[in-house]
Amino acid sequence: MISVFDIFKIGIGPSSSHTVGPMRAAGRFVESLRHKHLFHHASRIETVLFGSLAWTGHGHATDTAVILGLAGEQPETIDPDAVPAIIADAAGEKMLSLGGRRAIAFDRPRDVVFDRKTPAKGHPNTLSFTAYDEHGKAMLTEYYFSVGGGFVLAEGEEAVAAAAVPVPHPFRSGADLLAIGRARGLSIAGIVLENETARLPEEEVRARLARIRAVMDAAIDRGMAQEGELPGGLRVKRRAKALHDRLKADRGRNVRAAHQVMDWVSLFAIAVNEENAAGGRVVTAPTNGAAGIVPAVLRYYREFCDASEAGADDFLLTAAAIGTLFKLNASISGAEVGCQGEVGVAASMAAAGLAAALGGSNEQIENAAEIGMEHHLGMTCDPIGGLVQIPCIERNAFGANKAIAAASLALHGDGTHKVSLDQVVATMRATGADMQSKYKETSQGGLAVNAVEC
């Protein structure tokens, strides 16, 4: 089974599939060199990016991520403020500290190749690493696939490996979750919690959930405090701080506009995604491109509802269960199924999580998740300039508000509905397969070609 902490991973922006995944893949290649006793013989590493990584890798900082991963940095622990100095040192010295241990030759234009001609093998987000010895002879080549949400597979590796510790309630569908819930008298959050505590003590699970929430909250708070332009060349100005200032002023004047709560939710999502676009620390939820939706709805629950710590835990546990279903049965990769696999999945997760936190039944929660995705079906991934900025940032604001609406609709019903979550997951997968590649994170279609990059 996929863990809650696989769905929610701490990393840096701007992309889980194009930044976090390649960084982890590079780290895995370094470990492979060690395992094969080639680490001390490597004199140069060549990385080749294919498919969506080649087309939008510059905007997603994929080359930077590869350098960091080869240098031994991890997405979960790297200080985002340290990244520019690490990259500048590698470029200036033309040397790379392989695994943080030994210097090898490095020339960025030569050693990180954006191959837009060779078809990607296995997945639209494919990259290869080749290690050369001091005589220029290739010693080892390995292919990796960044399959969305920071998940990485080596060539030949199964998408879901057998769990090292069997879980008491394995599930692969929404129908499974409902059946287990009825048979065991458990909520969806309870099912997931019992699976997690088969591997970790409950206090550690809850401590790690609290850590995830803290990082989400910190991203909101940082985003609301920053000003200036986002990097990348589009000259997109940060809006979260100005919006926050206006909302605080309105609150002080006791303004009671009906849409003000929506504005706060939009603010929370925009703040996170501006941080993501700037390369800051965020939580994949389930991806970086959609990283603002779950935190925004969770913050809404905390600030505008009768919130509790237990409710917040149930929110994340339930949201992770829904993310798992999409991961297992469809995709959370924009390069594979379009933005429905990122913003759509995040909205579905957040809707289910909020319904759970507000005391919904399993049937109402499943309905909320279904509504959340149903109205994102067919959403394309067409980032202007290959940057996770336009339309990505605003899409998170709309996704968060739609998630709240989905939860509200489901909670006003009794859980019965015509279209099941499993049917929507299957539809999303089929829709993604039918979608032309230019609409799947290549910046070759849609807004990416119809809007001027200035």
Determine the pLDDT at residue 163.
56
Q: How confident is the model at residue 255 (pLDDT cuts 50, 70, 90)?
A: low
Among 91-95, 268-272, 412-416, 420-424, the minimum mean pLDDT is found in: 91-95
CA dihedral 427, 430, 432, 436 (to 10 degrees): -140
pLDDT 10s digits, 272-289: 999 999 999 999 999 999
Mean pLDDT of the 209-232 span: 97
What pLDDT does 160 receive?
A: 56
Q: How confident is the model at residue 452 (pLDDT cuts 50, 70, 90)?
A: low
Task: Give the residue-averaged pLDDT of 427-447.
Answer: 96
pLDDT band at residue 340 under the 50/70/90 scheme: very high
Tell me the residue length of the chain.
454
Q: How far is CA 413 from the centre of its chain?
A: 31
State the sign of the Cα–Cα–Cα–Cα dihedral 262, 267, 268, 272.
Answer: positive
- Which two structure tokens, joined as six digits, stand for 54? 């080649």
Single out the residue of 95, 117, 100 nearest to residue 45, CA to CA: 95
Q: Which residue has the tokens 């590869």?
A: 66
Amino acid at 86: I
Instruction: Give the separation between CA 362 and CA 356, rounded to whole angstroms.
Output: 8
Q: Which residues of 198-235 are buried (b: 16+ CB within 10 A; e: fewer)?
A: ebeeeeebbebbeebbebbbbbbebbbeeeeebbbebe
Residue range 230-243: mean pLDDT, rounded: 96
Under 8 Å between Cβ of 315 and 354: yes
- Measured in whole angstroms, how far is the alpha carbon of residue 407 from the centre of its chain? 22
Question: Is a pLDDT exceeding 60 seen at residue 140?
Answer: yes
ω before 391 within 30° of 0 (cis)?
A: yes
Least confident of 8-12, 164-168, 188-192, 294-298: 164-168
Contacts of 69 (CB under 8 A, 6+ apart): 22, 23, 24, 25, 26, 27, 29, 30
Tokens 């709309």 sit at which residue?
A: 398
Q: Which of 140-154, 156-170, 213-227, 339-353 has the lowest mean pLDDT?
A: 156-170
Taking only the tens place, the pLDDT of each residue in 369-398 is: 999 999 999 999 999 999 999 999 999 999
Q: What is the pLDDT of residue 294?
A: 98
- The confidence band for 161, taking pLDDT boundaries of 50, 70 and 90, is low
pLDDT per residue as tens digits for the range 23-62 = 999 999 999 999 999 999 999 999 999 999 999 999 999 9
Determine the Cα–Cα distance for residues 258 and 262; give it in Å rounded to an integer.
Answer: 8
Question: In 3-state terms, what secondary structure has residue 338?
Answer: coil
pLDDT above 70 as % of the chain = 97
Share the mean pLDDT of the chain.
95
* 184-206 average pLDDT score: 98
Q: How many CB atoms lie within 10 A of CB 105?
A: 15
What pLDDT does 254 receive? 67
Half-sphere exposure of 126 (CA within 13 A, CB side): 17
With a pLDDT cut of 90, the percent of the chain lying above it is 93
Amino acid type, 167:
V
Helix axes 240-252, 202-225, angle to 10 degrees: 90
At residue 1, the pLDDT reads: 75
pTM, to two decimals: 0.93
- Average pLDDT, integer, range 97-126: 94
